[in-house]
Amino acid sequence: MTLSKKKYRYVGIFLSDRLSLNKSTIIEEISGRYLGLFGSIDYNKAHIRIIKINDTPNTIVILKCRLESLTNTLISLSLINLELMVVSISGTLKQLKKKILIFLSYVSENQEGLTSNFRDS
């Protein structure tokens, strides 16, 4: 039997200010939705984890999951009632961090036009 290396994807998620104060609910909600929609066998294969990185701001969460389960993970993420948005997806943490930085700098540069939308919610 040949053992192939398991591939993962990192998903960068931006949270609303309100949600960033209560991050523990995220994994609970995603797990609940994933389990309900795709079952526990699939959920355990997906190997969904939150990655803790010191230098990321409080409004960013990084999720790790198996490549084969990315579709199901994205569906679960988009079908939970939490104020979050998927910012970027990458195969390496280095690339993901780069994309997150681009996102954050874009948001801060265009803060004036964007804040009303972020606040309205």
Partner 1 sequence: MAKNRNIIDLSIGFSLTQETLSFIKKFFSIDVMGIYYSSALSTDKDSIVLRIENTKQDITTIKQNYFYLYYQDFKENLDNIYSNTDIFTINDFFNPKNLLRKLTGKNIGFEFMVSKLRYLSTSQVGRWFSYMKYFYGLCKRYGHQLIISSGAKNIFELTSSRVINSILDRLEVSSTEYWADLNQWLSRKKRGMIYDSL
Residues whose CB falls within 8 Å of the CB of residue 46, separated by 6 or more in sequence, listed in order: 34, 65, 66, 69, 72, 73
Q: How far is the CB of 49 from partner 1 (least distance, A)?
A: 20
Interface pick for partner 1 out of 26, 48, 84, 96 (rule CB under 8 A):
84
Q: Is 117 in the site for partner 1 (CB under 8 A)?
A: yes
Q: Give counts: helices (H), strands (E), the chain.
A: 5, 4
Is residue 25 a contact residue for partner 1 (CB under 8 A)?
no
Out of 85, 91, 98, 101, the only residue in the binding site for partner 1 (CB under 8 A) is: 85
For the beta sheet containing 60-66, the strands, ordered from the edge strand earlier in sequence to the opposite edge, are 49-51, 60-66, 8-15, 84-90
DSSP lists the bridge partners of residue 61 as 13
Q: Residue 6 CB, nearest distance to partner 1 (Å)?
A: 20
Distance separating alpha carbons of residues 78 and 68, to the nearest angstrom: 17
Q: How near is the Cβ of 57 to partner 1 at its closest, in Å? A: 16
Residues binding partner 1 (CB under 8 A)? 16, 32-33, 36-37, 70-72, 74-75, 77-87, 89, 103, 106-107, 110, 112-114, 116-118, 120-121
